[in-house]
Structure 1
């Protein structure tokens, strides 16, 4: 166990070195990112020639110099967060800062880290800058730092004030942060840096999350993966949240806009925790159910907020989601300690970092009463991005592992299939040999029966003829010739004559033509190519037996002087026609004969249509026909 832990530690260090080395190399190629990171780290620091205004006066309503006569002003410490007051401030309020607080130069300016939601700046009664419509609740400028330039010092009255009119409510980041004052040049550079930081971080979040969402949703559709679906939805929602958060003039009512932002955060938090539990193989039903339950309560509280419920309900809903997510992330950290692996450690570190920074941001936004808490940089969107990337890396590692496992499985399957194919071929060969042996055995039995019934009866008849009529030499010679022909035909049936129909017929003609000449029978042969090509050896043997049977019957019984053979492919069929000019016969009278019975049996086995036409005194015609597109008779 100790050796395994050391291996994991060494692997983690190697990974850390590789990541840091590549990150530094990347940052050298992208200098603007260094500017973003540095501006984040020094976001709360002021330049040497700037100063912070930490105190101001406040009065209700929209006040300027002329309208504030008789108005009672109260001292307030900046930052002034409205929702932390009891009761919470609502509506329109005005802050004023003495003009003597500003530097005595020609390009003085003020940088406000966060104000509003909508804010107007006046120098006494002179309007200086407007950010949003004070009476339009569907605009929000509290998410960005704003800069205001003031007229030259000569035009100022030393008893003048800068009036900052603010419109907001307790549901938002309303109030006024500390105000940084200094020269226009210094503050413009700082403001541009902050704006660039926000812009590039938002673009990075939207682009990366959108790409990850598209890839994950495509993978979910292609591979029907529920984990890829959850990751795709979570990434897409975070990209949507970043886009919504960057808006000033809202395209929809504020309550719906903020509901969508909360919805994106709540669903993302629950889904990403569920996904983290799954990819780290933590089989805990209650933890996953806790994520769904907290998400449901959060959605209900957010919907209630739209209809005017206290904002504390939304805060409780968010807290519940954070608590449920914290339990999930702690379980992942515990799993990474018990069963350390690069994926477990990566998700655990990213999750714990997100949890710590999320709690830090939550503390600054909702709880802390520190003077600069209201203007501190909001880290959660960026840290969440790293957590998404960590989950994406783990899913990618799992996917690569699955691809490799699938490739290995396919290789093993191919090997097994090859073995089974070889075994099947071996079994097929054995079955083929066995079938041939059975066919040979059956054919031997038939030949023995034919020899017994044919040759045996002919020899017995011949013996009887010799014993009763020894002087009838012509009759005896004829009977002996019949016995010899029958014996030769029986011997010929013991082996096939060729490997296709044309060859079988050609060799049959070669064997029988000389025999027919001795019997003074003329053979007329007209054979053209067949369509059928793939008949088995046993089928060819059976087909040749049929031909021999037909010729044997003609020689033995027909007393013919001519035999006509016509064969080949004709249209959709192959056929063989054998016709003689013998004495003919009545098919009904010989239908039960052994020879015809054998012919019909073989034709049925070979799926050949057999027809026999004959009349007494007019010879006989035997037709064999089968489908031309058949790959074999059987």
Structure 2
């Protein structure tokens, strides 16, 4: 056997001994005998009478306490008569207490012919394993000068055992303290376990609602609820008018709680075997059917002679199953559940012996202490699974982060390569554009000048103007390469600088009313150059053909059909006529360039009021 088996077995043994010692010591820790006395014997008789005054004079039998009797058809009601005179003479206090630590069946108490107390739950006599603890606080003036008797009337069902433990008479304080200690062990402690099991069952079933595929949560929560019902019965809770129903539910509750615990173990320890599951459930269902024969004596016999034997077999199957599983995996959780199952069997057998009166009926029940142990072990297992899940999630998270890091590096590397390729492509496209502009524009102009020089058909001043025009066009190409932010105002500023000298020589007044406009996306060098050439062409046309003295270049936001545009407007104060030459190549080139840059060109003219050229760029895709 492994070291873990010895250690945890020792822990279980210590727990069993500690619980047993505490319960028995606390329950039977009687006060000083100077403060109380006990009644050890008396007489009893079977009689169906309801008051002491109608009891028969003959038929009484001597009994020694504690005493138990079997009820049958000839006698379903038993009377005990106990003498009090000896103890009353010993204790002369104004008030006395009579403490009865163990009374089974339905009981009534009389002092002489005076009714004092009853623990009957219902007018229909049923078997109860044992009644609640009883203590009678009595004034001395209710007693007679002599011949005082305590009558205990017990009733039950056919075939049930009734029991009367020792009866103690003495000082109120001493016996009340003893009664409260016993009540703590036999009632309040069990109620605490009931609340604990119910709360834990509600807590666990919450996890089942979250993860319904994990049915072991459901099995354990059902086991907790049913075990709580059984413990509530053992705590001595009154059944009232449904006492017979309590006598059925309590053993059924415990038995089915064992069934559900076995199902829980099977699913926690291995993949659920549906065939075994339905065999266990079907067997428990068939063995539960006889409880519906509503005879109190039969219920008591069947519950404690047959049903609990079947439940014990189910528990032994669970123990053997856990032993087999531990041999396979040597898992600590399996060992803990195995030892918990052994504690349930040990404490259950103890309580069964108490129920069947093989042990002192006033002995404490111990099965609820195994419920405490079960809850602790299950919490440990569930927390372990929870922590394992957290650790697994952390491992997955670390692996995911590592994968993300590697993917990010790969993406960054690919992005850098793509950017490099894109930059190379952009440079190639820009190089081709510049070459095209130089070839088509500047190159064409130079060829024309060269041809004119070869034929001597060009005058020096014209040659000078053509060369200046070519240089200006070259400067515009160079300026356009500096625009990378999509700012139209910057483009117009560079154009103004290049045209300033030409405009002064022409004695032409140009008013620049340029304001900030939203930056445009994808407004690169090619579009900047086309924009400058459109504006340059519009200004040149105004200088050459309009007869105007003043020209205004302005920018503003224009809204057309709900779409905002960044507008550039060139307006002169000339004659307002569009000459055939203006309607030809110049205007066509302007429209062609506007279309290339994604803008719209409008040309409006009114005779005598000048010409307005408007270039509008949509700003829906504008940079922020």
Deviation track 1:231-284 (CA, whole Å, cap 9, x = no partner) reads 455445544554455455435522344455455434533333333344444654
1:576 aligns with 2:567: yes
Distance 1:65 1:12, change over 3 A: closer
CA shift, 1:59, in A, is 1.7
What is the aligned partner in structure 1 of residue 515 from structure 2? Answer: 528
Going from structure 1 to structure 2, the CA distance change for 1:96 and 1:544 (only over 3 Å counts) comes to: same
Q: Secondary structure at the match of 1:135?
A: coil
Deviates more, 1:492-501 or 1:355-364: 492-501
Partner of 1:352: 342
Alpha-carbon distance, 1:390 to partner: 1.4
Alpha carbons of structure 1 residues 9 and 234: separation in structure 2 relative to 1, 3 Å: closer
Aligned to 2:165, which of 170, 179, 192? 179
Q: Residue 546 of structure 1 is aligned with which of 510, 530, 534?
A: 530
Which residue among 300, 313, 326 is the counterpart of 1:323? 313
Quick one: which of 591, 596, 617 aligns to 1:596?
A: 591
Q: Paired residue for 1:164?
A: 152
Task: After TM superposition, list the pairs within 5 Å mapping 1:123-272 onto structure 2.
Answer: 125-127=113-115, 129-132=117-120, 135=123, 142-147=130-135, 155-157=145-147, 163-169=151-157, 174-185=160-171, 190-217=178-205, 227-228=216-217, 230-239=219-228, 241-243=230-232, 245-246=234-235, 248-250=237-239, 253-262=242-251, 264-272=253-261
Structure 1 residue 515, shift from structure 2 partner: 5.5
Residue 463 (structure 2) pairs with residue 473 (structure 1): no
Structure 1, residues 369-428: CA drift from partner, whole Å, max 9, x if none?
A: 63x454432211222222122111221222233233334433443444344344434434
Greater displacement, 348-357 / 555-564: 555-564
SS of 1:115's partner is coil
Q: Is the 8 A contact 2:111 2:149 kept in 1?
A: yes
CA RMSD between the two structures: 4.8
Gaps of 5+ in 1: 28-32, 604-608
2:517 is paired with a residue of what secondary structure?
coil
The structural deviation recorded for 1:122 is: 4.0
SS of the counterpart of 1:539?
coil
Question: Which of 360, 375, 398 does residue 385 from structure 2 map onto?
Answer: 398
Q: Which residue of 1 aligns with 2:323?
A: 333
Within 5 Å, which residues of 2 pair with 1:259-408?
A: 259-262=248-251, 264-281=253-270, 283-294=272-283, 296-297=285-286, 300-302=289-291, 304-305=292-293, 310-311=298-299, 316-366=306-356, 370=358, 372=359, 374-408=361-395
Q: Which residue of 2 aligns with 1:613?
A: 603
* d(CA) in 1 for partners of 2:616, 2:44: 119
Find the residue that maps to 1:253 and give its secondary structure: helix
CA 247–144 in structure 1, closer or farther in 2 if over 3 Å, else same: closer
2:34 is aligned with 1:39: no
8 Å CA contact retained: 2:216, 2:263: no
TM-score, length-scaled by structure 2: 0.77
Contact 1:66 1:125 in 2 (8 A): yes
Whole-Å separation in 2 of the counterparts to 1:175 and 1:441:
108
Instruction: Show the counterpart of 2:78.
Output: 94
- 2 CA distance for matches of 1:528 and 1:357? 94
Tell me the SS of whatever aligns to 1:376.
coil
Distance in 2, matches of 1:298 and 1:514, equals 114
Q: Deviations over 1:341-384 (max 9, x none)?
A: 44332222112211222133234435xx63x4544322112222
Q: 1:549 to 1:272 in 2, by over 3 A?
A: farther
- Give CA deviations for 1:113-163 in whole Å, capped at 9, x if unaligned: 543432123466454543236725599793423346898998554xx9754
- TM-score scaled to structure 1, two decimals? 0.76
Which moved further from structure 2: 307-316 or 252-261? 307-316
Contact between 1:80 and 1:175, CA under 8 Å: does it hold in 2? Answer: yes
1:92–1:168 contact (8 Å) kept in structure 2? yes
What is the deviation of 1:445? 2.7
In structure 2, do the counterparts of structure 1 residues 490 and 275 end up closer, same or farther at CA, with 3 Å as the change threshold? Answer: same
Alignment length, in residue pairs?
Answer: 596
Deviation at 1:564, TM superposition (A): 3.2
Matched, 1:622 2:608: no
- Where do 4+ consecutive residues of structure 1 move more than 6 Å? 43-52, 74-78, 100-104, 138-141, 149-154, 222-225, 585-588
